[in-house]
């Protein structure tokens, strides 16, 4: 899915944000998944499309069977998302570059202030 299609889809979902918490969870999780899919596309295409760039450390994490699950969210002046991150890699990968990229990209759609990691786990079995 091209970026503009994703943006149009996200904008159509934004109308749901005034509804109940379950709907908001679905919208935020879909927004996270769509954003990660877009980041993965950029990584797979060598960061060349439209001069977009994603850090190598973020791409390494994205390529490692990454799963991001929304656990909770709160909003006052700005939105705070709490997530669980799981991945599968033979080595430990750091989440800081990925979180920074994810937050910056989510800010294009929602007034996010913070992403907090509840659990960060490598599922690789030695």
Note down pLDDT in tens along the chain; length 126 residues.
Answer: 566 676 666 666 555 455 578 888 999 999 999 999 999 988 888 756 566 788 889 999 999 999 999 999 998 778 899 999 999 999 889 899 999 999 999 998 888 889 999 999 999 875
How far is residue 122's CA from residue 61's CA, in Å, rounded to a whole number?
A: 10
Domain boundaries, the chain: 3-122
Instruction: Report strand pairing: 79-87 vs 67-75.
Output: antiparallel
How far is residue 74's CA from residue 58's CA, in Å, rounded to a whole number?
A: 25
| Nearest residue to 80 via CA among 110, 105, 108 | 110
How far is residue 58's CA from residue 39's CA, in Å, rounded to a whole number?
A: 9
Token couple for 14 = 């934004």
Please tell me whether the overall predicted TM-score, pTM, comes out greater than 0.85 for this model. no
């Amino acid at each position: 899915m091209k970026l503009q299609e994703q943006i149009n889809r996200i904008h159509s979902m934004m109308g749901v944000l005034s509804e109940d918490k379950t709907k908001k969870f679905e919208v935020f999780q879909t927004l996270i998944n769509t954003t990660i899919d877009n980041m993965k596309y950029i990584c797979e295409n060598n960061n060349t499309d439209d001069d977009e760039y994603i850090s190598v450390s973020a791409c390494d994490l994205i390529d490692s069977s990454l799963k991001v699950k929304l656990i909770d969210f709160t909003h006052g002046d700005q939105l705070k998302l709490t997530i669980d991150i799981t991945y599968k890699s033979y080595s430990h990968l750091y989440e800081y570059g990925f979180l920074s990229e994810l937050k910056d990209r989510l800010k294009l759609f929602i007034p996010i202030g913070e992403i907090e990691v509840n659990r960060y786990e490598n599922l690789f079995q030695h």
